[in-house]
Structure 1
């Protein structure tokens, strides 16, 4: 089924930037070169018996207390000396649990300090408590929205793709749970707003790997999850990425997209489960892998 175009689609795209080009905020190597900072948001898998450590939070009232299974070699977004969002993502593959931290700093005593943190049971459709943040501004999990090399090389991406915008509304739409803005104008997109690549977009000139990403943008869309640069797509760093090939995504502009209305798919406002049936791996369900084409 075709989801309807959102009433404010044109305004949202104009606000983010109709002529602005997309940017793959992930890739191979480090940036700046030699900085130890991988390009993208890294994650690590841990076993169920990984030792857990205490984490103290700046926003403890909206964070899951933990403890968190942070290994000593846990990669930090931006590198150990980075001053950006410093996300730390861990997946307990034995118990299907995702742990995510924002603004995470290791302490000398082995504990961690973070801005916020969230724990997601990947066998559940449950969303965060309403109005709660996560390690992301929209209150959503980060990992399920990242573009990952293995998905592309296997020929199919089965989830929405996380992206950022510089100005967002003081509002959020399902499945998001939180906003991070003082702007109330209806021209600004709310957190959780989903956009899709237009059906008439000609992807024939793109490489096969990039076409896999473009098909996902048509089928599942991209979802607004944080404040940041316009049309920046999130992915996990991987030295197998071809950075030159990823630059093909910079040919996309806001004009190639439209915002969609997903409320017709809602079963329960506190759940990411949708009305249409879909056979999607449990580790992707929480990110609402809805077919939007």
Structure 2
């Protein structure tokens, strides 16, 4: 599977200090007005009022992810391809997550991400790095995926056999033998998480692109050095038999 993603392809942080680079998120509360959203993939989307701020931060590019964390209700709202029109808000798909539960999407359902997973929990965030530890797996992309998915993913978005292409939900980790001492402090926190928790395949895209939220405090030069690592520095984690507990 490593070769299928790109054994010589370089690790790439798909985020940085520029506000338009990465997937931002919006912190909202009970006072944020709710908006009705019209979905292209209506049958696999959650229909409820979405707390979209007046000037929301939306991911640039074609995916236009819009993430909202309601800190009062402990809920995460995520939209894919979000767009405000003269008739109101539209999106490709949308998902609402309770942050007090480990409940997954129904089997076969997408979310705002191709793998049917929440996006925000997989982002590299500066506040975590500043605190000294990222305590979760990191979202990443691969050029091609197969037509199946593995836990905890709930949705596939590829073609072909999983004998030659990775499935959505594949977990990969940085090999324990990789020496990270020469990397900068921000990068070392990220690399420690990649060894301990790994990264999870959540969408089709460029090889080994790890996703994060933009923040002006990122050291872009330091993050760029992560590109010294390639697919050869990673290994697949066997998650067979894992279920929600």
Q: Which of 121, 127, 134 in structure 2 is aligned with 1:144?
A: 121
> TM-score, normalising length from structure 1?
0.82
Secondary structure class of the residue paired with 1:263: coil
| Residue pair 2:114, 2:155 contacting (<8 A) in 1 also | yes
Q: Which of 180, 183, 186 in structure 2 is aligned with 1:206?
A: 183
Partner residue in 2 for 1:246: 223
- Structure 2 distance, partners of 1:183, 1:95, is 41
Q: Which of 3, 7, 10 in structure 2 is aligned with 1:21?
A: 10
How much does 1:187 deviate? 1.8
How much does 1:264 deviate? 4.0
Partner residue in 2 for 1:228: 205
- Structure 2 distance, partners of 1:182, 1:212, is 35
How much does 1:185 deviate? 4.2
1:23-64: per-residue Cα shift (whole Å, max 9, x none)?
11000125xxxxxxx110010000122110100000000000
Match status 1:155 vs 2:132: yes
Partner residue in 1 for 2:168: 191
Q: Which of 27, 30, 38 in structure 2 is aligned with 1:48?
A: 30
Q: Which of 155, 158, 165 in structure 2 is aligned with 1:178?
A: 155
| Residue pair 2:148, 2:162 contacting (<8 A) in 1 also | no
Partner residue in 1 for 2:51: 69
Query: What value does the CA root-mean-square deviation take over the aligned residues?
Result: 1.0
Secondary structure class of the residue paired with 2:50: coil
Partner residue in 1 for 2:69: 91
| Residue pair 2:151, 2:242 contacting (<8 A) in 1 also | no
- Structure 2 distance, partners of 1:91, 1:236, is 14
User: Which sections of structure 1, spanning at least 5 residues, go unmatched?
Assistant: 1-11, 31-37, 274-293
Partner residue in 2 for 1:106: 84
> TM-score, normalising length from structure 2?
0.97
How much does 1:263 deviate? 2.6
How much does 1:182 deviate? 1.7
- Structure 1 distance, partners of 2:84, 2:235, is 41
How much does 1:252 deviate? 1.0
- Structure 1 distance, partners of 2:42, 2:242, is 32
- Structure 2 distance, partners of 1:26, 1:213, is 13
- Structure 2 distance, partners of 1:21, 1:66, is 40
Segments of 4+ moved more than 6 angstroms: none
1:185-229: per-residue Cα shift (whole Å, max 9, x none)?
412110000000001111111112211111100100000000000
